[in-house]
Amino acid sequence: MLISAALDGEATTTEEAAIDDHLVDCDACRRFHDGAAVLNRQVRLRPRPADRVLVARVMAAARPARLGRGGWMRPVLAWCAIVIGVRSFTPLVFGDTDGATAHLARHLGASGVALAIGLLYAAWRPHRAYGLLPFVGALFGATLIATVVDMVDGNATVIAESTHLAELIGILVVWMIAGSPGWDAVVSRLPHRHRPDRHGTGALGPTS
């Protein structure tokens, strides 16, 4: 029967057109078509039992945002962004910072404002934090190396370098919101007694 063939996707274009024309005037065939379509859908579409492994893989790839207990990470990230932005305003606009040339000061100010905007965006749209990790990770590493070198060479003190605290905290919080990628690999290499337990506690303390 052409109706069955059409429901199975085996009818030609001409046959499907003929069926459509016939169903307009034939109540019996239309009832048969509607009933067969429902049965066909029920047979083809069946509920699939939950696959916990598949769900875990999808959720891990999606990198859902983790905001901490009470959502504390978002306001902390916004605070860091505001501090960085305010501190970068003078170098960017007036070209004045720590005796650097105006050209260099404006470049430093522009980098600081860009970081502040990125952190604010992550606080506003935390599910986007993972995409910022390459930028903030590179900045974290470069800032840390520069800080250590300056302190070793005597060009800066701990107090002077503490001005970078907002950047370091903000970058760390972005990493935490993004799900702390790489942390599980670090924990897996620890001796068993030092690993956080299933409740997130242990020698390393809470992990959430």
Q: Are 177 and 65 in contact (CB under 8 A)?
A: yes
In degrees to the nearest 10, what's the CA dihedral of 124, 127, 129, 131? -130
Q: Is the pLDDT of residue 129 over 70?
A: yes
Q: Is the pLDDT of residue 194 over 70?
A: no
% of the chain residues with pLDDT over 70: 80
Q: Is the pLDDT of residue 68 over 70?
A: yes
Task: In whole angstroms, give the CA distance from residue 40 to residue 157.
Answer: 76
The pair of structure tokens assigned to 127 is: 């599910």
The mean pLDDT of 198-206, rounded to a whole number, is 44
Task: In whole angstroms, give the CA distance from residue 103 to residue 2.
Answer: 78
Q: Are 162 and 131 in contact (CB under 8 A)?
A: no
CA neighbor of 167 nearest in space, from 124, 126, 127, 111:
111
How is residue 195 annotated by DSSP? Answer: S
pLDDT of residue 72: 93
CA neighbor of 129 nearest in space, from 92, 82, 172, 158:
172
Dihedral pair phi/psi, residue 95, rounded to 5°: 65, 40
SS3 content of the chain, % helix, strand, coil (to 5): 75, 0, 25
**pLDDT single digits (tens) 13-34:** 888 788 788 878 888 888 888 8
Question: pTM, whole model, 2 decimals?
Answer: 0.59
Of 168 and 54, the one with more pLDDT:
168
- The 10 Å CB-count burial string (b at 16+, else e) for 184-193 is eeeeeeeeee
**pLDDT single digits (tens) 137-184:** 888 888 778 777 877 877 665 555 566 788 889 989 999 998 888 877
Of 159 and 39, the one with more pLDDT:
39
pLDDT of residue 207: 44
**Helix (H) and strand (E) counts in the chain:** 10, 0
